[in-house]
Amino acid sequence: MSYQIPKFRHPELPVNDLGYTKADYEGSISTLCAGCGHDSISGAIVKACHELSIEPHKIAKMSGIGCSSKSPTYFLGKSHGFNSVHGRMPSVVTGAAMANRDLIYLGVSGDGDTASIGMGQFAHVARRNLNMVYIVMNNGCYGLTKGQDSATADEGSVSKKGDANVFSAIDLCSTALQMGATFVARSFSGDKEQLVPLIKAAISHRGFALIDVVSPCVTFNNNAGSTKSYEFVREHAEATGTVDFVPMQKEITTDYAPGSSHEVTLHDGSSIHLYKMSEDLDPFDRTSALMNMEKHRTAGDILTGLIYMDKDSRDLHDVLETSRRPLNTLDAEDLCPGNQMLKNINASLR
Amino acid sequence: MKRLESVNDFVIKFANVNGTGSASANNMFAKALFRMGLPVSPKNIFPSNIQGLPTWYEVRVSEKGYLGRRGGVDIALSVNPQSMAQDIQEVEEGGYFIYDNTKPLDLRLVRNDVNIIGIPLTRICNDEYSDPRQRQLFKNVIYVGALAALLDMDFKVLTDLVKDQFKGKEKLILPNIHALELGHQYAKANLECPIGIRVKTSDKVGDKILLDGNTALGLGAIYGGATVAAWYPITPSTSVVDAYEKYVRRVRIDPGTGEKNYAIVQAEDELSAIGMVIGASWNGARAFTATSGPGVSLMSEFLGLAYFAEIPTVLFDVQRAGPSTGMPTRTQQSDILSAAYASHGDTKQVLLFPSTPKECFDFGAQSFDLAERLQTPIILMTDLDLGMNDNMSEPLEWDDARQYDRGKVMTAEQLEDGIEFGRYLDVDGDAICYRTYPGTHPKRGAFFTRGTSRDEYAVYTEKGEEYEKNMLRLMRKWDTIKEYVPQPEVVEASEKTDVAVLYYGTSEESSRESLDHLAGEGIHLNAMRVRAFPFNDDVKAFIEDHEQVFVIEQNRDAQLRTLLMAEFEFGPDKLKSVLCFDGTPISARNISKQIRQHLSGGAIEPLHRTKIASQAGESA
Ligand SMILES: Cc1ncc(C[n+]2csc(CCOP(=O)(O)OP(=O)(O)O)c2C)c(N)n1
Ligand code: SF4
């Protein structure tokens, strides 16, 4: 159940060039767990679109299935939205973008949605350089189906069942780079300072723009042993007859300077190391981008920031040489070759 | 020895090796007869293999205009040692077996009741050509030339055809005509020409055309205004998009800018192909995909989404023999159930059943109107037989005054006027709701498309009564759909009868021929051709009006019969099955045989379909 946000707003809220307040970019009140990283990303999307003065109805927000994929309900209430099927958002966006090149396509997905069931579509939408923003809300686990490991979970990380993950992790940024993506960035859900400009840049980029956002799951990234863990709390909760319990948590935020590394503690007490790309790193070189990521991965860091961008990117419409006029505006007069042509075809078939 | 005699009425079967270029020579033969004014129906019977295995090409010639498979072979032309034993066995008593006698025929194969004709094709080629490729290619053209003499064909028709076919490649004209002459002269000089089976120029073709269903579908998509095609290669549907691409290039590229008024994306798989179609249609473009059974299986989840979220979607299913990979290059009508109920949950999909290239074109174009009007997937069901073989057809036609039916779409002006918009509100009482294209209006008309349940305003809800309301509306919409889809066709017997047949798609031609034969024997049957699912009340009434109805179809499990029973709750005794599922098109003889068995002794004896299935495999 989604709730409509109350209409009343303070009259002096800041407006953008279009005269819209931030509220014009919001959606229904979120029903995700309190403190879920995905909500922070929704907030960053709202801020970025407001600041860019985009007409909200010119954005199509698309997603697959999962907690993350639900989040489009919680931003851009005046835009058309599309929750497709699990992992297959990229193809739906591809079709939509083919039909109308004049909208902005914002795809939202989870790491389960993208790196497992949707890996094929993810790879191919990157290689086709579809003009879209693809945000992965990456929590290393499946939220909506309650905590299984996802393919981006680090080897050795412990799932809610208490088992250590024995498989190596898929790095979505490296994958996208290798598939030919023309804009690749990584960020952290709680780092608005970094995330908002990245979203803005991704929207402005012509071509496929991936932002892989580390987004902690309040409820399931809590390993056994931690008193904050779901397991721990549930055990204690069951004593009181409660069958379901989701801990209230605060959103994890962070703010640190480019070129520096920073340790972020997750809800379960474990931590991740973020390394923000320094501003003098060249993001226009695919090879060095790949090497940089690998270097930091080996060091146990997650490299964040704009990792790669192709300034001369040619998107799918450029490659296919599709008409400037959106295909969905063409009608019978433009499309139908008429009866005379059929007469000629008939004649050639006798 | 008996010698089959006939004029303009026979079946000839060519037996070749796949990949030797025989297809174009065989095609030339069929086309020449067609140009002589004779109804022909050529059928490719080919293996799922690129080179080396046996391949057949069966041409039916019928002055009476029967275009289905008759059954039996009057003339076998066998140039494939691998299949020779089988080929000669198939020839009717008194028929003709033509072979390459450069090497002597294995004596064990010789049949005394068949006229055997040897032509030293390899020797003629080796004497004439030094290049191995030419030796192979022209061997085929030489036997066409020889056939022209044996059947007393108009030789000029053949040479004119060569000139037309190689327009633009003039260098090839003379060598081909020369090869035809080599065969023709050899036969004239050395063989008894003509044989008992002959052809004579006729006037039974009129303005008809020879066209395969897939090309017709590709053209239908262009005329229907499709701008987005997304697909993944699979036999036998690939040539639908090939045809679309071939023609769309001619008519939809702006000569000034080079810009294209279409987009074709070869997807990474069928999941993606249908997803693209759904995305494009959601956004207000006309889009389609073409596939076959395995693709339909993969597309199911998305089809359920399109059904439930009510997104226009056009899918052309060119059926082949399943299950699984089955026989990929053989024909069947066996996706009916998986398409009709494609996807989990309570889903019903609209199916169209064309039976000629003209109908492929018409229904193909109409699919887009239907999809947008009805806001649901339209699955057009053809099969390999119709899709990949040249079929004689009425010429294609388009009414230039025709406008597309874009269905219920609210414009910015309508939204501006403050008309209440609820994506799933049944405003007009026909259970079809209004939609808006993304980006239409800054403040009004945006909604969320989702596969989860929602209320009339597209807001997510798990309230049971809201879900039920929506599902019941979809059932009412199903009733509305019945009025829009192509209606069934009825052919009444010349005498009153309470027994009937019901068929669809490519079973039509053989069924009609079989009914003529049975009528000649005093067995009169009314006929109905079903052209769409949902079935309307006429279908129900037709079945109710008859004591017994034979359902003719090309699958093992009597899928259309199952669908009729499921939708109308007919008992199993009312509908009897006539089946063929050996991968070849059902033949008229086969149908007649099965119906006679059902009706033996004049009494209508209920015969369970398992009994039939055991005999149906014979491609009589
Ligand atoms: C075909 C299919 N298989 C499985 C599911 C069940 N399912 C729903 S969401 C989900 C995983 C979501 O994980 P992720 O994308 O990481 O999103 P999160 O919930 O963690 O944000 C799965 C497996 C489904 N909806 N459809
Ligand atoms: S389960 Fe995890 S991912 Fe899902 S809403 Fe809760 S915190 Fe977010």
pLDDT digits (tens, 9 = 90+) for B163-206: 999 999 999 999 999 999 999 999 999 999 999 999 999 999 99
Q: Inter-chain contact B437–A120, Cβ cutoff 8 Å? A: no
Query: What's the CA-to-centroid distance between A41 and ligand 2, angstroms?
Result: 13
pLDDT at B581 over 80: yes
Reported as a pLDDT band with limits 50, 70 and 90, residue B423 is very high
Cβ contact (<8 Å) for A335 and B261? Answer: yes
Burial class (CB in 10 A: 0-12, 13-18, 19+), B109: middle
A112 lines ligand 2 (CB under 6 A): no
Bond prior to B236 in cis (omega within 30° of 0): yes
Q: Under the phi-then-psi rule, with left for phi > 0, alpha for psi from -120 to 50, and beta for the rest, what region is B363?
A: alpha
Query: Is the pLDDT score of B502 beyond 80?
Result: yes
- Using a CB-CB cut-off of 8 Å, the residues of chain B touching A56 are 442
Contact B448 A98 (CB under 8 A): no
With a cut of 90, say whether residue B356 has pLDDT above it: yes
Summarised one tens digit per residue, pLDDT across range B531-555 is 999 999 999 999 999 999 999 999 9
Question: What average pLDDT does the structure give for chain B?
Answer: 95
pLDDT higher than threshold 50 for residue A66 = yes
| Contact status of B204 with chain A (Cβ, < 8 Å) | no
B359-380 residues labelled b (16+ CB within 10 A) or e (exposed) = bbbbbbbbbbbbbbbbbbbbbb
| B303 residue type, one letter | L
CA B412 to centroid of chain Cα atoms: 42
C-alpha to C-alpha distances, A342 to A139, B45, B208, B286, B359, nearest whole angstrom: 56, 29, 13, 21, 14
Burial of A67 (0-12, 13-18, 19+ CB in 10 A): buried
ipTM beyond 0.90?
Answer: yes
pLDDT-derived band at B612, boundaries 50, 70, 90: very low
For A74, which residue in chain B has the nearest alpha carbon? B448
pLDDT digits (tens, 9 = 90+) for B112-125: 999 999 999 999 99
> A100: which chain B residues are within 8 Å (Cβ-Cβ)?
283-285, 437-439
Distance of alpha carbon B275 from alpha carbon B313, whole angstroms: 10
Minimum mean pLDDT range among A215-229, B132-146, B341-355: A215-229
Higher pLDDT among residues B360 and B602, named by residue: B360
Query: What is the predicted pLDDT for the residue at A241?
Result: 37
CA B268 – CA B251 distance, rounded (Å): 27
B43 C-beta neighbours (distance < 10 Å), count: 23
Span from the CA of A215 to the centroid of ligand 2 (angstroms) = 9
Query: Nearest C-alpha to atom 8 of ligand 2 is from which residue?
Result: A36
> A161-165, B71-75, B463-467, B487-491: which range is least confident on average?
A161-165
Higher pLDDT, A271 or A335: A335
How much is the average pLDDT of A58-78? 97
- The DSSP bridge partners found for residue B13 are B58, B76
User: B526: helix, coil or strand?
Assistant: strand
Could you tell me the pLDDT band of residue B613, with boundaries at 50, 70 and 90?
very low
Residue whose token pair is 């009564």: B465
Residues of B whose CB is below 8 A from A80: 436, 438-439, 446-449
Task: Please check the confidence at residue B514 and state whether its pLDDT lies above 60.
Answer: yes
For ligand 2, whether the C-beta of A160 sits within 6 Å is no
Q: Is the CB of A145 inside a 6 Å radius of any atom of ligand 1?
A: yes
Q: Does B203 touch chain A (CB under 8 A)?
A: no
**Cα–Cα nearest to B550, from B352, B534, B542:** B542
Cα separation, B31 vs B306, in Å, equals: 42
pLDDT given at position A20: 96
CA dist A210 and A198 (Å) reads 10
- C-alpha dihedral over B54, B60, B61, B66, to 10 degrees? -170
Per-residue pLDDT band for A11 (boundaries 50, 70, 90) equals: low
Of A120, A332, A346, the CB nearest to B225: A332
The predicted structure's pLDDT at residue B521:
95
pLDDT for residue A185 is more than 90? yes
Task: Confirm or reject contact between B281 and chain A (CB < 8 A).
Answer: yes
Better pLDDT: B216 or A261: B216
- Taking only the tens place, the pLDDT of each residue in A130-150 is 999 999 999 999 999 988 889
Give the nearest partner residue to A1 out of B279, B446, B461, using CB atoms.
B461
CB pairs under 8 A between A and B: 234
Pick B447's closest partner by Cβ from A80, A100, A328. Answer: A80
CA atoms within 13 A of residue B254's CA, in its CB half-sphere? 13
B436–A2: do the CB atoms touch at under 8 Å? no
Crossing angle of the two packed helices B132-150 and B173-190, in degrees rounded to 10: 50
Residue B95 phi/psi, 5-degree rounding, is: -80, -170
Tell me how far apart the alpha carbons of residues B350 and B482 are, in angstroms, rounded to a whole number: 9
**Cα angle B518, B524, B530; round to 5:** 95
| Chain B neighbors of A72, CB-CB under 8 A | 448
CB contact under 8 A, B275 and A95: yes
The answer, yes or no, to whether the previous bond of B194 is cis (omega within 30 of 0) is: yes
Cα–Cα distances (Å) from B210 to B130, B213, B236, B395, B408, in that order, read 36, 10, 18, 9, 38
Residues of chain A positioned with their CB less than 8 A from the CB of B441: 57
CA of B303 from ligand 1 middle (Å) equals 19
What local confidence, expressed as pLDDT, does residue B608 receive? 39
Residue B200's pLDDT is 97
Q: Tell me how far apart the 2 most distant CA atoms of chain A are, in Å.
A: 83
Residue in A218, A230, A245, A251 to alter for ligand 2 test, most ligand atoms within 8 A of Cβ: A218
Residue A254: is its pLDDT beyond 90?
no
Q: What is the DSSP string of B38-62?
A: --EEEEEE--SSSSSSEEEEEEEEE
Instruction: Give the tens place of pLDDT for each residue, B437-495.
Output: 999 999 999 999 999 999 999 999 999 999 999 999 999 999 999 999 999 999 999 99
Whole-number average pLDDT of chain A: 88
Report the distance separating Cα B278 and Cα A96, nearest Å: 8
Name the 3-class secondary structure at A40. Answer: helix
User: How far apart, in whole angstroms, are the C-alpha atoms of residue B591 and residue B506?
Assistant: 13
pLDDT the model gives residue B615: 46
pLDDT band of residue A294 (cuts 50, 70, 90) is very high
Residue A124's closest chain B neighbor by CA? B268
Taken as a whole, chain A contains a residue count of 350
Peptide bond into B47 cis (omega under 30): no
Tokens of B79: 């140039």
Q: What pLDDT is recorded for position B5? A: 97
At residue A29, φ and ψ (nearest 5 deg) are: -70, 135
Write down the pLDDT at residue A24. Answer: 95
Residue B291, classed as helix, strand or coil, is strand
Cα angle A8, A10, A16 (rounded to 5 degrees) comes to 105
List strand residue ranges (DSSP E) for B171-253, in order.
Answer: 197-198, 209-212, 228-231
Q: Which residue, judged by its Cα, is nearest atom 6 of ligand 2? A: A33
> At B114, which amino acid appears?
V
* Residue located via tokens 């005999």: B615
Q: Quick one: pLDDT band at residue A245, thresholds 50, 70, 90?
A: low
Residue nearest to atom 1 of ligand 2 (CA): A143
Residues 6+ apart with CB under 8 A from A282: A288
Rounded to whole angstroms, the Cα distance separating B150 from B96 reads 11
CA distances from A254 to A187, A259, A274, A275 (A): 11, 15, 10, 12
B460 interface with A at CB cutoff 8 Å: yes
Q: How confident is the model at residue A9 (pLDDT cuts 50, 70, 90)?
A: low
A-chain CB neighbours of B462 within 8 Å are 1
Note whether B279 contacts A: Cβ–Cβ < 8 A: yes
Report the pLDDT value the prediction gives residue A202, as an integer from 0 to 100: 97
- A335-338 long-range contacts, CB within 8 A, separation 24+: A335/B222, A335/B225, A335/B227, A335/B252, A335/B261, A336/B222, A336/B223, A336/B225, A336/B398, A336/B402, A337/B222, A337/B223, A337/B247, A337/B251, A338/B398, A338/B400
Whether residue B603 is predicted with pLDDT greater than 60 in this model: the reply is no
Q: What percentage of chain B exceeds 90 in pLDDT? A: 92
A215 CB less than 6 Å from ligand 1? no
What is the least distance, in Å, from the CA of B340 to any CA of chain A? 20
Lowest-confidence segment of A230-234, A338-342, B26-30, B303-307 by average pLDDT: A230-234
Q: What is the pLDDT of residue B171?
A: 93
Q: What is the pLDDT of residue B191?
A: 97
CA distance A110 to chain B (A): 17
By C-alpha distance, the chain A residue nearest B284 is A328
Contact A98 B280 (CB under 8 A): yes
The pLDDT of residue B229 is above 50: yes
pLDDT of residue B614: 41
Q: Give the nearest ligand 1 atom to A139 CA.
A: 20
Whether A238 shows a pLDDT value over 70: the answer reads no
Are B438 and A60 inside 8 Å of each other by CB? yes
State yes or no: pLDDT of A257 exceeds 70. Answer: yes
**How many C-beta atoms lie closer than 10 Å to residue A154's C-beta?**
15
pLDDT at A281: 78
Does the structure show a pLDDT above 50 at B557? yes
Q: Residue A196 pLDDT > 80, yes or no?
A: yes
Cis amide leading into B442 (omega within 30): no
Local structure of residue A18 (DSSP, 8 states): T
Ligand 2 pocket test, pick from A71, A160, A220, A268 with the greatest ligand atom count within 8 Å of Cβ, gives: A220
Using the Cβ of B167 and the Cβ atoms of chain A, whether some distance falls under 8 Å is answered with no
Nearest atom of ligand 2 to the alpha carbon of A246: 6
Sheet with A261-265, edge to edge strand ranges: A261-265, A271-276, A301-309, A183-188, A208-214, A132-138, A104-110, A59-63, A80-83, B448-450
Nearest CA to ligand 2 atom 5: A32
pLDDT of residue A308: 96
The pLDDT value recorded for residue A244 is: 57
Does the beta carbon of B305 lie under 8 angstroms from any beta carbon of chain A?
yes
State whether A60 and B283 contact (CB < 8 Å): yes
What's the gap in Å between B309 CA and the centre of ligand 1?
19
Q: pTM for this structure? A: 0.94
Query: pLDDT band for position B504 (50/70/90)?
Result: very high
Which single residue is written with the structure tokens 């939204």?
Answer: B415
